[in-house]
């Protein structure tokens, strides 16, 4: 039994050790009285099967568990719930098996049901969504506190969260399936799934070990029948909620009926005749999305009214409209980030899966134009979670969440009736049940539709046929060089026309440049539809490594189709994620000046950092910079350009002199900013097509390109963080 209440008591009361014989091989977490959540590959290992086996364990397959902090040494028996077996799979849709070494993958969840009651002292764990700034901990399979790992969430790559392991801790096998615990918020924020270890002999200062966890939204999406999870006990606003409920829900019978129905909906035991208003509120605040469920049930419980179509008409004992508004305000105080019931949230997620025309980052900017800093989002579902936490501003009768869904519906309508009409119907139902005036929603939709029509950008067309042409897709490679600059770990993302980012490949083991190019070719073949334009390949590099000649890399020759040289057949540009507030401010200023932007040459006269920065300050309207000096000065000038917010930097990696500067100026002169990458690609191709001309300036030509449609991050992020362009 746990002797005393410490900072991790809720974690210890729910932590489960999954056993194989006498050994702990993984972990899990108690989520209901007799239900334990873990990874499917942990269950496979406990049953002696291949870790990525797909078939559901049979009724005779039992798993041994222990709750080491509650009943040390006491074995428990559990069986897999067939309806909650979600084995690992390669993609979000379908059931293709996972390729060895490929991360992230989907699924990998299982729920075990204990054959008997849990030991005394065991309690289901509270769950919340992760916060990027909060440190988390994870326990090893045995539950022993000595190998505890500390980690900080770095980036979401749905369905996983990537976390940096702190303090040089060694993450070994056995952490999988265990709860990721946020000590400050007293909640589980994910389920540990995999780890990328730092290479042996890594140089001091090398990036830390990366741990991956399945996020709470992914768990909820994969296991829709899992009972709603508990949440940390809420205190703020509870008294306001009790007072508001007393004015809306009067009479003991009404309270008893609501408590019984709420308990059934949340999968929790009812207090029966002992129920009262305090127990009803206590039940609602202890379960994820319990407050929206309570409001929904209270509304449904009320007797018929004179006008059943008026969502605000509440005569008699059930209070007036002001009482309902007071109740809703109290509910937002208790749980500010929960507006929807579990069913409403799942219905919305299902519709958003069919939406392809709305960029989530742009959506947040339109709905929250005055927010001091927007949350990082990786998809529309993630954006909806963010908007759910914002309350309506003064003078805005439609909440930000519903504003976002209306805007998505307007964007999607151009592609057809579905899912736009279903999104409109969803908004209508949720608005009516949330006390939002239907006329306000209709007016907001009309305003958005009218505003979108005249400003919508013209659709590019094929010159020969006049048919619409899609924007070129992008392949984004986030490259982390080793100290020698010859070996790399990396992630490859894809970004298609009006589609959210998708993490296509992760290479955790160090590889050479030829392997990088081979993986780019593989992603292009399997993940990117390149009609009608070739994809743009973007290498994201730390600013200290902008000198890497990534634009000249190629794969080895092959019998199938020869070597693959992206710099010739694809537009290849260099970008950097290392931007500060100051550099982002400069980037925005140069964006505003683009229609009249000038070209600036930085040559041997500007190799001193102070001189270069002064030149960039004097020419704050320069959108394109030509760097033309000795190669060993390139790094200094490139970093100065990045800090000054320059969009486009063109340079030759080997040659310099006035003739090179004039050639490069002529190359971009009269060229629209968006056409620069293609102009550079053609120059590289011309140089390759004329092998007898060793001096052709297209050889070893490089381009740093952070154009306005490639929006750089507002703040300097950590490594392996790509933001919406």
Residue 2 has pLDDT above 60, yes or no: no
Q: What is the mean pLDDT of residues 320-335?
A: 82
Alpha-carbon distance of 470 to 116, in angstroms, equals 58
Alpha-carbon distance of 19 to 35, in angstroms, equals 16
Residue 125 has pLDDT above 50, yes or no: yes
Is the model more confident about 102 or about 442?
Answer: 442
**CB-based contact 215:161 (threshold 8 Å):** yes
Alpha-carbon distance of 270 to 32, in angstroms, equals 14
How confident is residue 86, by pLDDT bands cut at 50, 70 and 90? very high
Is the model more confident about 652 or about 104?
Answer: 652
Residue 594, Cβ neighbours under 10 Å: how many? Answer: 15
Q: What is the mean pLDDT of residues 356-373?
A: 81
How confident is residue 318, by pLDDT bands cut at 50, 70 and 90? very low
Q: Which of 165-179, 406-420, 466-480, 602-616 has the lowest mean pLDDT?
A: 466-480
Region for residue 32 given its phi and psi (left: phi exceeds 0; alpha: psi -120 to 50; beta: otherwise): beta
Q: What is the pLDDT of residue 611?
A: 93
Query: Across the strands, what pairs with 195?
Result: 211
Is the model more confident about 428 or about 395?
Answer: 428
Alpha-carbon distance of 141 to 27, in angstroms, equals 5
Alpha-carbon distance of 258 to 299, in angstroms, equals 10
Q: What is the pLDDT of residue 350?
A: 87
Quick one: which of 41, 46, 108 has its CA closest to 76? Answer: 46
pTM of the model: 0.56
How confident is residue 612, by pLDDT bands cut at 50, 70 and 90? very high
Is the model more confident about 103 or about 223?
Answer: 223
The top-scoring range by mean pLDDT among 72-81, 191-200, 376-385 is: 72-81
| Token pair for 351 | 């519709």
Q: Which of 52-66, 111-125, 383-397, 601-615 has the lowest mean pLDDT?
A: 383-397
Alpha-carbon distance of 182 to 212, in angstroms, equals 15
Q: What is the pLDDT of residue 238?
A: 86
704, burial (CB in 10 Å: exposed 0-12, middle 13-18, buried 19+): buried
Is the model more confident about 579 or about 45?
Answer: 45
Q: Which of 169-178, 519-528, 679-688 has the lowest mean pLDDT?
A: 169-178
What single DSSP character describes residue 360?
H
- What are the Cα distances from residue 399, in Å, to 265, 321, 422, 449, 720? 26, 18, 19, 18, 34
Q: What is the pLDDT of residue 715?
A: 31
Q: What is the pLDDT of residue 522?
A: 87
- Say how many residues make up the chain: 725
Residue 526 has pLDDT above 50, yes or no: yes
Q: What is the pLDDT of residue 527?
A: 79
Q: What is the pLDDT of residue 501?
A: 66
How confident is residue 560, by pLDDT bands cut at 50, 70 and 90? low
What is the percent of the chain with per-residue pLDDT over 70, rounded to a whole number? 83
Alpha-carbon distance of 264 to 224, in angstroms, equals 16
Q: What is the mean pLDDT of residues 607-635?
A: 90
Beta-strand relationship, 35-38 and 109-114? antiparallel
Q: What is the pLDDT of residue 462?
A: 43
- Domain residue ranges in the chain: 8-199+206-222, 236-304+320-334, 342-452, 474-573, 595-705
Residue 721 has pLDDT above 80, yes or no: no
Q: What is the pLDDT of residue 18?
A: 96
Alpha-carbon distance of 216 to 213, in angstroms, equals 9
Alpha-carbon distance of 260 to 278, in angstroms, equals 14
For residue range 237-276, what is the model confidence (pLDDT) as tens digits? 888 888 888 888 778 888 898 999 999 888 888 888 888 8
Q: Report the run of H or E that residue 401 belongs to, with start and end.
A: helix 400-413
334, burial (CB in 10 Å: exposed 0-12, middle 13-18, buried 19+): buried
Q: What is the DSSP string of 274-340?
A: G--HHHHHHHHHTBTTHHHHHHHHHHHHSPP-S-TT-TT---GGG--HHHHHHHHHHHHHH-TT--S
Residue 460 has pLDDT above 80, yes or no: no
Question: Residues with Cβ < 8 Å from 56, sequence gap 6 or more?
Answer: 80, 82, 85
Alpha-carbon distance of 261 to 293, in angstroms, equals 10
Q: What is the pLDDT of residue 459?
A: 43
For residue range 666-702, what is the model confidence (pLDDT) as tens digits? 888 877 777 888 889 888 888 888 777 666 777 789 9
The residue behind tokens 């500067």 is: 661
Q: What is the mean pLDDT of residues 513-525?
A: 90
Q: What are phi and psi of 175, to 5 degrees?
A: -80, -20
The per-residue pLDDT of the chain, averaged, comes to: 81
Q: What is the pLDDT of residue 717?
A: 36
Residue 588 has pLDDT above 70, yes or no: yes
Q: What is the pLDDT of residue 675?
A: 83
| Token pair for 408 | 């998505």
Which strands, in side-by-side order, build the sheet including 474-481? 502-511, 488-495, 474-481, 536-540, 571-575, 701-705, 648-652, 622-627, 598-602
Q: What is the pLDDT of residue 626?
A: 92
The top-scoring range by mean pLDDT among 166-180, 190-204, 538-552 is: 538-552
CATH no. of 8-199+206-222: 2.40.10.10
Q: What is the mean pLDDT of residues 625-634?
A: 91
What is the percent of the chain with per-residue pLDDT over 90, rounded to a whole number? 25
How confident is residue 313, by pLDDT bands cut at 50, 70 and 90? very low
How confident is residue 391, by pLDDT bands cut at 50, 70 and 90? confident
Compute CA 17 distance to the chain's CA centroid, rounded to the nearest angstrom. 29
| Token pair for 622 | 């320069």
Residue 147 has pLDDT above 90, yes or no: no
Q: What is the mean pLDDT of residues 82-95?
A: 87
The top-scoring range by mean pLDDT among 19-33, 219-233, 336-350, 388-402 is: 19-33
Q: What is the mean pLDDT of residues 471-485?
A: 81
Alpha-carbon distance of 462 to 441, in angstroms, equals 38
């Amino acid at each position: 039994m746990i002797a005393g209440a410490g900072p991790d008591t809720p974690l210890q009361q729910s932590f489960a050790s999954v056993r194989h014989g006498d050994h702990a091989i993984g972990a899990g977490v108690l989520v209901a009285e007799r239900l334990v959540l873990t990874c499917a590959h942990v269950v496979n290992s406990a049953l002696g099967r291949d870790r990525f086996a797909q078939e559901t364990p049979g009724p005779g397959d039992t798993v041994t568990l222990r709750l080491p902090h509650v009943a040390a040494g006491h074995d428990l028996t559990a069986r897999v719930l067939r309806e909650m077996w979600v084995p690992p799979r390669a993609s979000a849709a379908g059931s293709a098996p996972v390729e060895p070494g490929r991360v992230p993958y989907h699924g990998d969840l299982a729920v075990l049901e204990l054959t008997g009651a849990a030991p005394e002292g065991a309690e289901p764990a509270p769950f919340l969504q992760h916060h990027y700034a909060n440190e988390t901990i994870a326990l090893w399979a045995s539950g022993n506190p000595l190998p505890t790992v500390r980690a900080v969430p770095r980036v979401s790559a749905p369905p996983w969260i990537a976390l940096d392991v702190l303090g040089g801790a060694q993450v070994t096998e056995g952490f999988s399936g265990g709860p990721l615990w946020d000590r400050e918020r007293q909640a589980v924020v994910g389920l540990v799934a995999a780890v990328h270890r730092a290479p042996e002999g890594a140089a001091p200062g090398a990036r830390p070990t990366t741990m991956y966890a399945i996020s709470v939204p992914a768990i909820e999406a994969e296991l829709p029948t899992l009972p709603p999870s508990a949440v940390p006990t809420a205190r703020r606003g509870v008294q306001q909620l009790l007072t508001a409920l007393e004015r809306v829900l009067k009479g003991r019978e009404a309270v008893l009926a609501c408590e019984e129905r709420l308990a059934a909906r949340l999968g929790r035991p009812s207090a029966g005749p002992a129920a009262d208003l305090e127990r009803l509120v206590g039940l609602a605040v202890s379960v994820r999305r319990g407050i929206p469920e309570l409001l929904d049930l209270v509304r449904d419980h009320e007797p018929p009214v004179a006008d059943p179509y008026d969502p605000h008409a509440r005569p008699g004992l059930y209070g007036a409209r002001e009482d309902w508004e007071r109740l809703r305000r109290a509910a937002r105080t208790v749980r500010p980030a929960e507006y929807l019931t579990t069913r409403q949230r799942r219905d919305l997620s299902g519709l958003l899966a069919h939406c392809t025309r709305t960029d989530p980052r742009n959506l947040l900017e339109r709905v929250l134009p005055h927010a001091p800093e927007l949350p990082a989002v990786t998809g529309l579902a993630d954006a909806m979670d963010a908007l759910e936490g914002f309350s309506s501003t003064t003078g805005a009768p439609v909440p930000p969440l519903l504003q976002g869904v209306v805007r998505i519906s307007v964007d999607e309508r151009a592609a057809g009736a579905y899912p736009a009409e279903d999104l409109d119907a969803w908004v209508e139902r949720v608005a009516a049940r949330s006390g939002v005036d239907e006329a306000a929603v209709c007016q907001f939709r009309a305003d958005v539709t009218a505003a979108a029509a005249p400003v919508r950008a013209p659709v590019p067309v094929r010159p020969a046929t006049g048919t619409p042409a899609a924007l070129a897709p992008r392949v984004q490679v986030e490259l982390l060089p080793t100290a020698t600059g010859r070996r790399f770990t990396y992630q490859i993302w894809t970004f298609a026309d009006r589609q959210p980012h998708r993490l296509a490949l992760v290479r955790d083991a160090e590889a050479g440049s030829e392997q990088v190019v081979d993986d780019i070719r593989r992603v292009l073949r399997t993940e990117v539809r390149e009609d009608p334009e070739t994809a743009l390949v973007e290498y994201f590099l730390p600013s200290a490594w902008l000198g890497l000649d990534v634009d000249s890399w190629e794969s080895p020759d092959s019998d199938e189709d020869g070597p693959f040289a992206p710099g010739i057949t694809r537009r290849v540009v260099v970008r950097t994620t290392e931007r500060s507030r100051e550099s982002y401010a400069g980037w925005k200023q140069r964006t505003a000046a683009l229609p009249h932007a000038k070209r600036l040459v930085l040559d041997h006269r500007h190799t001193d950092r102070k001189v270069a920065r002064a030149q960039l300050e004097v020419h704050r309207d320069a959108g394109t910079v030509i760097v033309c000096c000795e190669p060993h000065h390139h790094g200094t000038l490139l970093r100065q350009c990045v800090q000054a917010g320059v969009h486009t930097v063109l340079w030759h990696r080997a040659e310099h002199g006035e003739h090179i500067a004039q050639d490069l100026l002529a190359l971009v002169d009269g060229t629209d900013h968006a056409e620069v990458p293609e102009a550079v690609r053609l120059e590289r191709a011309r140089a390759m097509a004329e092998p007898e001309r060793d001096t052709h300036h297209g050889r070893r030509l490089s381009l740093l390109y952070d154009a306005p449609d490639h929006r750089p991050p507002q703040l300097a992020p950590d490594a392996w963080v790509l933001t919406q362009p």
